[in-house]
Amino acid sequence: MRNYAIDINADVGEGVGNEAQLLPLVSSCNIACGGHAGDEQSMRNTIKLAIKYEVKIGVHPSYPDKENFGRDSMQITPSTLIKSIQSQISFFKSVCDHEKAWLHHIKPHGALYNDIAKNADIAQVFLKAILEYKNGAKLYVPYGSVIAQEASKEGFSIVYEAFLDRNYNADLSLVSRQQNNAMLENPTEIMEQLLRIVKNNQLKTITNELVKIEAKTFCIHGDSDAAFEILAYLHSKVSSHQISIKS
């Protein structure tokens, strides 16, 4: 019987304060770096916890929009966006260096993540912003996305990501958070989503279609009320399905 090794990541450092609960249950994390949430102290505290629990450290840049938690697309010039992303990551990297932590990956947040998934112009702007990290950090991206295609062409090291606690449309875009069925919170349903992707490379959409997907890292949103319950449940069940969570 085949064995599977997966990475589970969580978005953290966003002001919820549950990092000490969540980080022992994930193998990588995406830490807010000031664009949508987070400050120097929250970055430092979360990095220290990640080191303690041997969790791979990622930076989670966003549109510079704390008011809307980075979840709204912004009309922003390319140069302004580049400057903001570079500033966020540079500051985060300086905290990592001070804590002797290794920056493993970059994962954009919220509306920025969704926009670069479908818009080649914004994807190119984002890649330009993170160019100096091209050979040192991986980039978490959705399967079949514009950013995955553009990053691969430019020689970035990409890791396909899927969201375990979100519903998907048939085109593999996420169901809008403005809809009541955007989030998945039932651990059993989330486990089913994980198994379907890991073992069959398939995802059941909101309209019950099965579509192809590939993923090596799987996200649980740290600001979800159900995050700890979901992660604890997954840890209790994955080994019986020949799945291990690797740091």
Taking residues 128-143, what's their average pLDDT?
98
pLDDT tens digit string along 182-195? 999 999 999 999 99
Q: Report how far residue 220's alpha carbon sits from residue 63's, in angstroms, rounded to the nearest whole number.
A: 21
- 190 neighbors 166 (Cβ within 8 angstroms): no
Going by pLDDT thresholds of 50, 70 and 90, the confidence category of residue 4 is: very high
CA 232 to chain centre: 19
Q: What CATH number should be reported for the domain holding residue 138?
A: 3.20.20.370
User: With 90 as the cut, is the pLDDT of residue 1 above it?
Assistant: no
Mean pLDDT across the chain: 97
Q: Report how far residue 68's alpha carbon sits from residue 85's, in angstroms, rounded to the nearest whole number.
A: 17
- 35 neighbors 61 (Cβ within 8 angstroms): yes
pLDDT tens digit string along 21-43? 999 999 999 999 999 999 999 99
Q: Report how far residue 96's alpha carbon sits from residue 93's, in angstroms, rounded to the nearest whole number.
A: 5
CB atoms within 10 A of CB 241: 15
Assigned token pair, 15: 């002001």
Share of the chain above pLDDT 70, in %: 100
User: With 80 as the cut, is the pLDDT of residue 213 above it?
Assistant: yes
What is the secondary structure of 190-211 as a DSSP string?
HHHHHHHHHHHSEEE-TTS-EE
Range of the domain at 201: 4-245
- Radius of gyration, alpha carbons of the chain: 17
Q: Which residues pair with 9 in a beta bridge?
A: 28, 219
pLDDT tens digit string along 69-119? 999 999 999 999 999 999 999 999 999 999 999 999 999 999 999 999 999
Q: Tell the residue number behind the tokens 């059993």, with chain if given.
A: 188
Share of the chain above pLDDT 90, in %: 98
pTM attached to this predicted model:
0.97
> How many independent structural domains does the chain possess?
1
What pLDDT does 117 receive?
98
Going by pLDDT thresholds of 50, 70 and 90, the confidence category of residue 234 is: very high
